[in-house]
Chains A and B, each alone.
Chain A
């Protein structure tokens, strides 16, 4: 009856955890995929169908074309963050994390599984928002490769930030504080709805400190060819922040900070 020496597959823990994380958001797709897509679609409707052709704040582009890259990026950022932060925090809060701590899942596998699932969710939402946006206007896709890289970088960065937030959070309130008082303002002030070059000083310079500005600006450059700063600066700056967040998350998880007592 009992074979107590089954073969150990070292990468199977990673794939099982990745599968679980993907199934987790897929099972509640109404909340995790459909809801953000509906929200983004409303933005698209307001800025695309109603104001899109009547406004133009950048020469050569309709307002709809200007705003759509930012809205796609918003979807990617919010959902990548939401996936890791809610999943890990719920595991901590409800005690389910113990189920993972007793298994041979390594810290790198843990981070990779959570990150890839969050990236998948963020990129899925971003892709659907882009597909819906084609109903309102077309985007020239100046640099598809840069667009894909910026989207992946943004989802990676905010997956890491979600892990960090979930580890430090003491309650669900803390998680929503990150979303409402940090990510949302930084997104809105990061140039989703306007180019920062039209801002008076010191607001234009202050906006350059906002890491989300570079993600949105670099992505917009890739999609429509317009940007406030060089795409190399945008990619480099975002890349550095992503690496810092990754090292921070890896250090916390490797140490078992607030996961193991």
Chain B
């Protein structure tokens, strides 16, 4: 059974479509990244899963239960870290966590509460009212709050927005740790390097559609360009025409030849081609593509692909 199944999910606001019939599934135990530029429909999708936004069409099931019909069951199984910092200024961290366990119908478990407090570095601030917490502490509290009822699916909607590097790394370490304990993670972030490192699979949304979805390494391998750079013993005056399909580029007065490879280009074949051209190669470097490159290409700010 999947942790989450989304079928033909739709939502419009004032007749402007925000989510246009998307489909995807998240397996149990997976870390799934939902990426996309601002306004792509990620938060709307997440809010429909969590129950903040009503479904415009289609359906969502969490662990086999419909999120609208069986909302009590599904909401108990889902924890959400919202994009905006949502806190109740009247209460201390400790009071808020106890109340939140109750909202989810779960009795306060002091051992679990203290474990979250310790792991998220909240202990010295336990009895401070929310109003007095720094931005970073509020973010950490949001994660503790989302986990206090021990959900099976944790949704992180840009949990590290505006958070310093040290805290970001700490939070991601913690997310990995709880994922190893069996919690499925759905996350959105604008830190693509981190998403690439964290996520087993990634879906990229743009203009309300899912435009790409597959395992992270496969997505990057398939859609990014690798770069090969050859340092030549003798400067090259003219680029051989047989290399034209590799978008060659000559630098450093012809002593550096740069080639761009797609996922289907074979490095061995290219090396043979260069040998046939009798190029005297002293050194070779390669750069792998990354998720950021794929993201920019797909979301098409400068006219990238519309569908993959």
To the question of whether A and B form a pair in one complex, the answer is yes
Contact of A95 among B76, B84, B149, B152 (CB under 8 A): B84
Contact A16 B103 (CB under 8 A): yes
B212 touches A (CB below 8 Å) = no
Asked whether A4 lies within 8 Å of B152 as measured between CB atoms, the reply is yes
Whether B72 contacts A6 by the Cβ 8 Å rule is no
Q: Are A12 and B106 in contact (CB under 8 A)?
A: yes
**Cross-chain contact A96 with B86 (CB below 8 angstroms):** yes
The answer for the CA separation of A103 and B86 in the assembled complex, in Å, is 14
Q: Do the beta carbons of A105 and B103 come within 8 Å of each other?
A: yes
- Our pick among B75, B99, B105, B109 for the contact of A102 (Cβ within 8 Å) is B75
Contact with A along B37-51 (1 / 0, CB 8 A): 000000000010011
Residue A237 at the chain B interface, CB threshold 8 Å: no
A176 is an interface residue with CB less than 8 A from chain B: no
Q: Out of A27, A100, A104, name the residue touching B76 (CB < 8 Å).
A: A104
The 0/1 profile, CB within 8 Å of B marked 1, for residues 239-261 of chain A is 00000000000000000100011
- Within the complex, which residue of B54, B84, B104, B150 is in contact with A103, where a contact is CB–CB below 8 Å? B104
- B172 interfacial contact with A, CB 8 Å: no
A1-25 interface (Cβ within 8 A of B): 1-10, 12-13, 15-17, 19-20, 23-24
| B240 interfacial by beta-carbon distance below 8 Å | no
Partner of A1, one of B71, B88, B181: B181
Q: A23-B95, A102-B80, A260-B52 are in contact. Are A10 and B86 (CB under 8 A)?
A: no
A182 CB within 8 Å of chain B: no
| Cα of A17 to Cα of B72 in the assembled complex, Å | 15
Chain A residues with Cβ below 8 Å from B150 are 2-6
Q: How large is the interface on A (under 10, 10 to 19, 20 to 34, 35 or more residues)?
A: 35 or more
A28 sits at the interface (CB 8 A): yes
Q: Is the CB of A104 within 8 A of B71?
A: yes
Contact (Cβ within 8 A) A12 B107: yes
Q: Which of B13, B80, B82, B103 has the most CB of A within 10 A?
A: B103
CB nearest to A105 among chain B residues: B103
CA gap between A28 and B88 in the complex, in Å: 13
Contact B183 A102 (CB under 8 A): no
CA distance A188 to B88 in the complex (A): 35
The 0/1 profile, CB within 8 Å of B marked 1, for residues 110-130 of chain A is 000000000000000000000
Kindly name the residue among B53, B104, B105 whose own CB sees the greatest number of chain A CB atoms within 10 A: B105
| CB closest chain-A residue, reference B129 | A27
Q: Given A96-B88, A104-B75, A104-B104, do A6 and B52 touch, yes or no (CB 8 Å)?
A: no
* CB under 8 Å from chain A, chain B span 72-95: 72-73, 75-76, 78, 80, 82, 84, 86-88, 90-91, 95
Query: What residues of chain A lie closer than 8 Å to B78, measured between beta carbons?
Result: 102
Report whether B102 and A13 are in contact in the complex, using a CB–CB cutoff of 8 Å.
Answer: yes
- Contact B54 A260, beta carbon cutoff 8 Å: yes
The prevalent SS among residues of A at the interface is loop
A98 contacts B by Cβ under 8 Å? yes
> B104 near A28 (CB under 8 angstroms)?
no
B residues 103-140 with Cβ under 8 Å of A? 103-107, 109, 112, 115
B52 touches A2 (CB 8 A): no
A98-B82, A260-B52 known; A19 vs B72 contact (CB < 8 Å): no
Instruction: Flag if B103 contacts A8 (CB, 8 Å).
Output: no
Report the minimum CB–CB distance from B103 to chain A (whole Å): 4
Rounded to whole angstroms, the CA-CA distance of A123 and B106 in the bound complex is 31
Contacts of B207 in A (CB 8 A): none
**Chain B residues whose CB sits within 8 angstroms of the CB of A23 once the complex forms:** 90-91, 95
Please indicate the chain A residues that have their CB under 8 angstroms from the CB of B112 in the complex: 3
Q: Which residues of chain A come closer than 8 Å to B86, judged between CB atoms?
A: 94-96, 98-99
Given known A19-B99, A23-B90, A96-B88, contact A102–B107 (CB-CB < 8 A): no
A101 touches B (CB below 8 Å): yes
Give the interface centre of A8, A9, A10, A104 by most chain B CB atoms within 10 Å: A104
Q: Does B289 contact A (CB under 8 A)?
A: no
With the chains together, A98 CA to B87 CA distance in Å? Answer: 10
Question: A: which residues have CB within 8 A of B?
Answer: 1-10, 12-13, 15-17, 19-20, 23-24, 27-28, 94-96, 98-106, 256, 260-261
Closest 5 CB pairs of A and B: A16-B102, A2-B181, A104-B72, A103-B103, A8-B105
